[in-house]
Structure 1
Amino acid sequence: MGALRSYQADAAGFALDALSERGGAGLFLDMGLGKTLTSIAVMDVLHEADPSMRFLVVAPPLIAKYSWPDELAKWSGLHSLDWTVLDGSPRKRLEKLESGAAVTVVSQGLLKWLDDNVDRWPWRLWVVDELSGYKNPGSVRFRVLKARRANLNAHPLPSGGRSRTAGPKARVLGLTGTPATKNLLDLWAQMYLLDGGATLGPTMSGYRDEWFRPTRVIQGPYGPQAVEWEPRAGARRAILGAVAPECMSMRASDKLPDLPPLVEQDHWLDMPKATRRTYSKIRRDLAVRLDDGQEVTAANAGVLTGKLSQLATGCLYPDPDDPTGVVEHMDDAKLDELTAIRESSDGQLLVFYRFKDELERMRARFGSDLHEVHEPDIVARWNRGEVPMLAAHPLSAKFGLNLQEGGHEVVWTTLPWSLDDYSQANARLNRSGQRDTVVVHRLVERGTVDERILDVLAERASLHDSVMAALRRP
């Protein structure tokens, strides 16, 4: 495919070699480097060599519905692949399967349905988009692909087991820009899908016991149980060295020298005194009685952290078991700062929030100027400059939305703990085609859990950078 940039051609060549030699390949490319186009090129080369070969693309819902068919259509003059997208009713999906298209695109949420309804999978190569979404080996999506990777005929039986008829194995091309954003334990399940355990071992427990040591142990129902781990001395280098032959990383800053920089601007705010009193009391006592008589409690550390984040945002949700409770409005410190940012902005704002109460308060303050990602034609309207403010939850907007043509300013009213969510969401603007410096405004209240989130994001970014650097090719 002549449309490939030189670095994309290098990535495609690497993937083809790794697929041939090892049965799996991981392309760990930053957002905006063209993982989709590179994968289309890989499939096209294999299809040209064997026209009977069929491919399965598994992707997050929005990417499966929009990005893949759009890219396949955009470059249709440069490849020989036909395709179908499994959507609509179950009957419609089965009809599409009968088409025999070279490429079948399916949402990862439909993997269980596909597993239940197709005895023998005809797809000899899978492209698993956003491979980092399979880092949990207990997830349904991982278990389905694990079984089918080892045997494409491994259809589930009514008894709950799987057929033992021998069948061919699948080859897997995994795509992600964030392979390890929390810890190196994240790599095991992803690598298992690529090579069936050849690199990091056949079990998660074996991998963990060999390369990690527990740093936090709690008393579980059957005795002491480790809940946090860290790499042993030398483990990081050994693990990354082991996966390097089948994984390649690329950074946008290296391959797109004309991409404008991303600048993070922290807005330090003081929590209002009344909210601070409530914040201090619930952190100390794990409970607080509000002025309206409502009592809010924090049953454990996770719940406490959530309550503290709510207060740093200016609200407090009732306990889940309180059917009469209402969300308590505490203050508008962050909303006021968002208003100031908007007044000084020179264009459209992309605003990420965490709690529904934040969205409702933004709706009340900004009225018709505020839009949401589910609205019809929202991407086209944004890119035409018709959307003064676009509000989005990172989980609903971190994939499949290319907004770089319509703005260059992001505001986080409440930061996420997940570096993957944070990076992917910012990449809606910080990607190829962006002409201006991307400014990421982060609203942070001093002396609150906001500061801890900043530290966690920085720690995870450091790990991510080391992984990407270790797998970078000259």
Structure 2
Amino acid sequence: MRYTAHDYQAQASEFILDHKEAAIFLGLGMGKSVISLTAIWELILDYFTVARVLVIAPLRVARDTWPAELAKWDHLEGLTMAVAVGSKKERLEALATGAMVTVINRENIPWLVAHYGDAWPFDMVVIDELSSFKNPRAKRFKELTRVRPHLNRIVGLTGTPAANGLMDLWAQFRVLDGGERLGRYITHYRNRWFTPDKRGGMQVFTYKPREGAEEEIYEAIADMTVSMKTTDHLTLPPLTMVTQMVEMSEAEARKYERLKKDMVLTLEDHVIDAANAAALPGKLLQLASGAICTADGNHVTVHDRKLDALEDLVEAANGENLLVAYWFKHDLSRIRERFPHARELKTSQDIADWNAGRIPLALIHPASAGHGLNLQAGGHLLVWFSLTWSLELYQQANARLFRQGQDQPVTITHLAVRDTLDEAVLAALEGKDTTQERLIDAVKTQLSEEK
């Protein structure tokens, strides 16, 4: 296919060419992969300034999206790519090809660094979903930081650089520039731009930006950062967000209230125990979804209200393909039991079949299918069976359908049980206040209101 770049895509590719360290913050569905590959092609085959490039991405994006993008566009001809995912044997075979571009999933970064040691062969790294390197304690962060001196160029791509707050930015830029702009140590970053927020005695649990910090941080990273919003550069089809409220019976609602107040509930022969305030929101969200995990690793069903609502939506779709996002494992098993034809999108073939219109009811988990997958060709209807409080995963999952290339109006429907924590999660997502502490506070607020 012939590539005709949008102005913003040409600008972003040029920015990568002109900057050895680049953070590309582009909105969801704006084509970060083809932007990067276009720059890589020029750096390797035109300017000869780069020899081998490593692309780090979420597993399915590494396996499916990057190879598909390379094969899709005519102007990338001549660029070779190997995909180093799967078994150790498969990864070693991919590395042995010596391809110009090697794509690997982020979980295998520690293995890759250990495999090459001091003989690190890549002079450029592209991190697809830079936000997955926001935890400085994660092994992937530490190992990539270790090989950073071997790199001549590095690019970070994401649409959600600070979904949970500005504190997330430090580790991402520490990987990119070695700490030049935001400091080499998170304590220095924190002391410079943040003040203590929530604390218990002398222990500080959270920090909040001090006045003016946001503008100063953005100014510090501006010289290496391109940031654009999807809505500023693309004309997307209409998006409709719908919340369908689901009602529990009085008996079911009493079980929810008992768990919320007592943090313990007996269901059949199982004692459901929320060990502490941090565990309670998860238990309540499970119960709202219709089932709850037991100590033996199974689950006990409380109600089928969301399954009934999903059945109505399937019928109302009238033959249109439906993509359903679920959060809990028992959601998956219960949906499959009610809809035997439902198919989880796990493999490359699953994704190809969905995009070809061959899967009328597809299931995805936002943590494994939230980033980078192109699913817009398969449908335009998304249902959130159960919710996540992660704004990043929520936005990324929605962007699987609401993105460039979608030619039909998109409808996203949330199934929420009335008078449960589902409503608090939706409010948190809408207000972009999505930390687990927000949910704990929501439970405390509900309890205090009832006293």
Q: TM-score, normalised by structure 2?
A: 0.90
Aligned mate of 2:162, from 167, 180, 186: 180
Once the two structures are superposed, the pairs formed by residues 440-451 of structure 1 within 5 Å of their partners are 440-451=412-423
Distance 2:58 2:348 in 1: 20
Aligned mate of 2:171, from 181, 189, 195: 189
Deviates more, 1:341-350 or 1:435-444: 341-350
Deviations 1:322-380 (CA, angstroms, capped at 9, x unpaired): x3x75221111111111112221241110111112222222222222x12113672233
Change (3 A) 1:225 1:44: same
Deviates more, 1:400-409 or 1:178-187: 400-409
Structure 2 residue identity aligned to 1:302: A
* Alignment match, 1:100: 98
Deviations 1:249-285 (CA, angstroms, capped at 9, x unpaired): 122222112x102211011222321121111112111
Structure 2 residue identity aligned to 1:67: T
Distance 2:347 2:38 in 1: 33
Distance 2:240 2:222 in 1: 31
Aligned mate of 1:237, from 215, 234, 254: 215
Q: Secondary structure at the match of 2:340?
A: helix
Distance 2:348 2:71 in 1: 21
Once the two structures are superposed, the pairs formed by residues 48-447 of structure 1 within 5 Å of their partners are 48-50=46-48, 53-75=51-73, 77-118=75-116, 119-149=118-148, 151-152=149-150, 169-218=151-200, 224-257=202-235, 259-290=236-267, 292-319=268-295, 323=296, 326-346=298-318, 347-368=320-341, 370-374=342-346, 377-447=349-419
* Alignment match, 1:164: none
Change (3 A) 1:170 1:226: farther
- Report the CA distance between 1:140 and its aligned residue: 0.7
* Aligned-pair identity (%): 41
Structure 2 residue identity aligned to 1:365: R
Distance 2:356 2:400 in 1: 15
Change (3 A) 1:95 1:384: closer
* Alignment match, 1:166: none
Distance 2:70 2:360 in 1: 32
Structure 2 residue identity aligned to 1:348: N
Deviates more, 1:181-190 or 1:261-270: 261-270
- Report the CA distance between 1:51 and its aligned residue: 6.1
Deviations 1:200-227 (CA, angstroms, capped at 9, x unpaired): 11111211122112221236xxxx3222
Q: TM-score, normalised by structure 1?
A: 0.86
Contact 2:3 2:74 in 1 (8 A): no
Structure 2 residue identity aligned to 1:172: I
Change (3 A) 1:398 1:131: same
Deviations 1:99-134 (CA, angstroms, capped at 9, x unpaired): 332222211111111111102212221111110100
Distance 2:343 2:181 in 1: 46
- Report the CA distance between 1:190 and its aligned residue: 0.7
Contact 2:3 2:73 in 1 (8 A): no
Which runs of 5 or more residues in structure 1 are unaligned?
153-168, 464-474
* Alignment match, 1:29: 26
Number of aligned residue pairs? 431
Q: Secondary structure at the match of 1:200?
A: coil
- Report the CA distance between 1:448 and its aligned residue: 1.3
Q: CA RMSD in A?
A: 2.1
- Report the CA distance between 1:400 and its aligned residue: 4.4
